[in-house]
């Protein structure tokens, strides 16, 4: 899971619902205690996906056996279906099932994954430059967020906090009677510096 570079706030409602479904699935699914061997395999799997996740036929380790990334993903998402259905029923919506269906579709179509979208956007609009892509997205999102209106009560609260902060600063500065140069000399005085303990690491 990572920030979505195409979403101004980094994650959208559908992804949050998918996370809800997946975390509940993890909570409800029987799982034996971790072992050192499994933890090591998880690390190797993470490295493989990070380095080769877009390669067709990538295989991962699961309980001492190899399994395809696509097949494992299909199994996990299929296991999430009852959870999504239960959440939709509880809330009277179809949003959780829709979020899960979108994940299933993305798993079966590499061109619709976030990484594919990033690569396509880089090639089509930024001469293949990741730096230009991220800068353009950052500026676009900043402009979008700045144009979002704040509710009046929130804006008034922030304005009040700003006034209180400035008043506190004024009071602190008014109560300060020591000239800055005097403070600086005392702060850097050798006797003060010598009094500060120094830890030595062997």
Q: What is the pLDDT of residue 176?
A: 83
What average pLDDT does this structure show over 3-23? 94
49 burial (CB, 10 Å; 0-12 / 13-18 / 19+) is middle
Residue 169 has pLDDT above 80, yes or no: yes
**Residue range 19-34: average pLDDT?**
93
- 36 near 29, Cβ under 8 Å? no
Alpha-carbon span 175 to 14, nearest angstrom: 53
Q: Residue 202 pLDDT > 50, yes or no?
A: no
Where is pLDDT greater, at 126 or 148? 126
Range 74-78 average pLDDT? 96
**Closest by Cα among 99, 107, 115 to 20:** 99
Q: Rg (Cα) of the chain, in Å, rounded?
A: 27
**Predicted local confidence at residue 180, as pLDDT:** 87
- Dump pLDDT digits (tens) for 130-166: 999 999 999 999 999 999 888 999 999 999 999 999 9
The answer to whether residue 33 scores a pLDDT higher than 50 is yes
Strand extents, DSSP E, 36-119: 59-62, 65-68
pLDDT score at 2: 79
Q: How far apart are the first and last CA of the chain?
A: 40
Q: How much is the pLDDT for 197?
A: 57
pLDDT at residue 198, as a whole number? 53
pLDDT digit string, tens, across residues 40-49: 999 999 999 9
Are 68 and 57 in contact, with CB atoms under 8 Å apart?
Answer: yes
> Does position 199 have pLDDT exceeding 60, yes or no?
no
């Amino acid at each position: 899971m990572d920030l979505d570079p195409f979403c101004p706030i980094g994650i959208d409602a559908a992804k949050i619902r998918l996370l809800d479904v997946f975390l509940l699935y993890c909570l409800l699914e029987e799982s034996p205690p971790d072992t050192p061997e499994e933890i090591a395999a998880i690390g190797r799997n993470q490295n493989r996906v990070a380095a080769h996740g877009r390669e067709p036929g990538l295989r991962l380790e699961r309980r001492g056996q190899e399994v395809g990334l696509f097949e494992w993903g299909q199994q996990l998402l299929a296991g999430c279906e009852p959870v999504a259905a239960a959440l939709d029923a509880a809330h009277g919506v179809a949003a959780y099932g829709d979020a899960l269906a979108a994940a299933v579709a993305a798993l079966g179509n590499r061109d619709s994954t976030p990484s594919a979208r990033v690569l396509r956007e880089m090639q089509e609009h930024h001469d293949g430059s990741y730096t230009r892509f991220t800068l353009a997205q950052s500026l676009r999102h900043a402009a979008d967020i700045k144009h979002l209106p704040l509710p009046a009560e929130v804006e008034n609260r922030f304005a009040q906090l700003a006034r209180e902060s400035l008043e506190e600063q004024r009071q602190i500065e008014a109560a300060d009677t020591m000239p800055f140069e005097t403070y600086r000399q005392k702060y850097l005085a050798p006797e003060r510096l010598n009094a500060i303990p120094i830890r030595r690491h062997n």
